[in-house]
Amino acid sequence: MLDLNPAQVRKDLAYFGEFGKRGVGYSVSRLRDHLIEILGLQTRRNVGIVGAGGRLGHALALYKGFEKRNFKVVALFDKDPHVIHQPVGDSGTIHHISELPTIVRQLSIEILILTVPAEAVREVFDYILLSGVKAVLNFAPVKLNSTEEICVHNVDLAIELESLSYHLNRPGVNLP
Amino acid sequence: MLDLNPAQVRKDLAYFGEFGKRGVGYSVSRLRDHLIEILGLQTRRNVGIVGAGGRLGHALALYKGFEKRNFKVVALFDKDPHVIHQPVGDSGTIHHISELPTIVRQLSIEILILTVPAEAVREVFDYILLSGVKAVLNFAPVKLNSTEEICVHNVDLAIELESLSYHLNRPGVNLP
DNA sequence: TAGATTGTTAATCGATTAACAATC
DNA sequence: TAGATTGTTAATCGATTAACAATC
């Protein structure tokens, strides 16, 4: 499914330890447990959404898929005074971003999802750095770089479309 | 900004042609034009959203950022009879997915964005294959593989969080 | 013992980087 | 000519794959 050959799978697993028995194979359920452990997926992670007043933030706040994968949206933030105190689903009401550092610590939030417009990113990111959070998933079309302090994953929807546009121009170069 | 060295930039450009003058450098605006040409971003691409009745589909349908990057959402689709004929922004009303193949051809849609629940993916993807569209951006948590026929990019939000979870477990391994 | 499968070492391949001739 | 910068070839590095001993 992932286009890997057996040697590569064994090599990658070897990086973390020995999980199989020579001549026998791997126990699927025990291997699964090891992978959950390696990825840190045993413990539920608390997540906050910054820009929850926007449509994307709203959609993600109400998305049921995160709970199934052991992530829980526990707090919502926005800059716009009009949406503050608005309730969204069962993640409580929207807080002003100035409260972010305090609430992140109070609720042990480990990951922040950023869904603010490009213009707001710099200001909001300062609050995020202040909060001490170590992981950010950024949907704003502004690349944020990871540092020793904080790990950022950037998801830029327009770039995804641009990448598909490139493939449309050269048929046959589809495959991975 | 991208952590590339000069040699790598020259190498990558060389793959597509010669865009600079030795001893002088690159003309920024002409290089920009060449890159736009290579990525196929001169022409506006028509986009359809499948699963526009859901919150994510709805958010993407109303997102202003795509137009700025030369993509236009021209049609919306869903399976749910309750949302059919509902208007969303200025992309018209929501059509039933059975109309997808016809409308894709009528409106010259080149890219489809998939925002349906996991259970609906298989059924919907059959209509997509039927439509002959060559590029798909899939947000459903079900990996779809590219073929000679169709190029699929998968964006799985839960996997992004899981990846961040892994980094939370090993501080210092943040950098790219 | 014969067959199978792991973990690991060695060989291969491709991508990144360094070096340099060509050019302004 | 001296200095700078490209395009390209060669060297280096790392990742993938193949081979094989260890083990059941």
Residue A140 burial (C-beta neighbours within 10 Å; 0-12, 13-18, 19+): buried
The confidence score (pLDDT) of residue B176 equals: 47
Q: Is residue B159 pLDDT above 50, yes or no?
A: yes
| C-beta of residue A130 within 8 angstroms of C-beta of residue B2 | no
Rounded (10°) angle between helices B28-39 and A157-169: 70
In the DSSP assignment, the letter for residue B87 is B
Q: So what's the pLDDT on residue A170? A: 79
Residues of A in contact with B42 (CB under 8 A): none
CB pair distance less than 8 Å for B137 and A164: yes
On whether any CB of chain A is under 8 Å from the CB of B141, the answer is yes
Residues 48-107 of A with CB under 8 A from B: 54-56, 58-60, 62-63, 65-66, 68-69, 71
Residue type, B172: G
pTM for the structure as a whole: 0.94
Mean of pLDDT values over A135-159: 95
C-alpha–C-alpha distance, residues B124 and B137, integer Å: 13
Q: A148–B174: do the CB atoms touch at under 8 Å?
A: yes
Closest CA to A135 of A46, A56, A64, A16: A46
CB contact under 8 A, B135 and A45: no
The stretches of B73-146 forming alpha helices (DSSP H) are: 100-106, 121-131
Nucleotides on chain C that have an atom closer than 7 A to a protein CB are 3-9, 16-19, 21-24
C-alpha angle with apex A35: A31 to A36, nearest 5 degrees?
A: 115
For residue B114, the cross-strand partners are: B50, B138
Question: What percent of chain A is modeled with pLDDT above 90?
Answer: 91
* DSSP states of B25-66: EE-HHHHHHHHHHHHT-SS-EEEEEETTTSHHHHHHHH-SHH
What three-state secondary structure class fits A2? Answer: coil
Type of residue numbered A1: M
Q: Report the distance separating Cα A161 and Cα A9, nearest Å.
A: 31
Q: Determine whether the interchain pair A165/B111 forms a contact, defined as Cβ–Cβ distance below 8 Å.
A: yes
B20 touches strand D (CB under 7 A): yes
> What percent of chain B is helix, strand and coil (3-state, nearest 5)?
40, 20, 40
B15 and chain A: CB distance < 8 Å anywhere? no
The side-by-side arrangement of strands in the sheet containing A109-114 is A94-96, A71-78, A45-50, A109-114, A135-138, A151-154
A143 close to B (CB below 8 A): yes
Amino acid at A132: G
What's the whole-number mean pLDDT along residues B14-19?
97
- CA–CA separation, A138 vs A121, rounded Å? 9
Least confident of A9-23, B35-49, B110-124, B160-174: B160-174
In this structure, are residues A100 and A50 in contact, taking their beta carbons and an 8 Å threshold?
Answer: yes
* pLDDT reported for residue B170: 79
Decide if pLDDT at A47 tops 90.
yes
Instruction: Point out which residues pair with A151 in neighbouring strands.
Output: A135
Nearest to A160 among B1, B40, B155 (CB): B155
Q: Name the nt closest to B23 by C-alpha to C1'.
A: D5
Note the CA–C1' distance, A1 to C2, in angstroms.
32
Bridge-based pairing of strands A135-138 and A109-114 is: parallel
Q: Judge whether residue A7 contacts strand C, using its CB and a 7 Å cut-off.
A: yes
Q: What is the largest CA-CA distance in chain A?
A: 65
Residues 13-42 of A with CB under 7 A from strand C: 13-14, 18-26
Rounded distance in angstroms from the CA atom of residue B35 to the C1' atom of nucleotide C23: 24
The mean pLDDT value for A86-109 works out to: 96
What's at A73, amino acid-wise? V
**pLDDT score for B175:** 47
B25-26 and B20-21: which strand pairing? antiparallel
- Using a CB-CB cut-off of 8 Å, the residues of chain A touching B153 are 160, 163-164
A176 pLDDT band (50/70/90 cuts)?
A: very low
Strands A25-26 and A20-21: antiparallel
Is pLDDT above 80 for B114?
yes
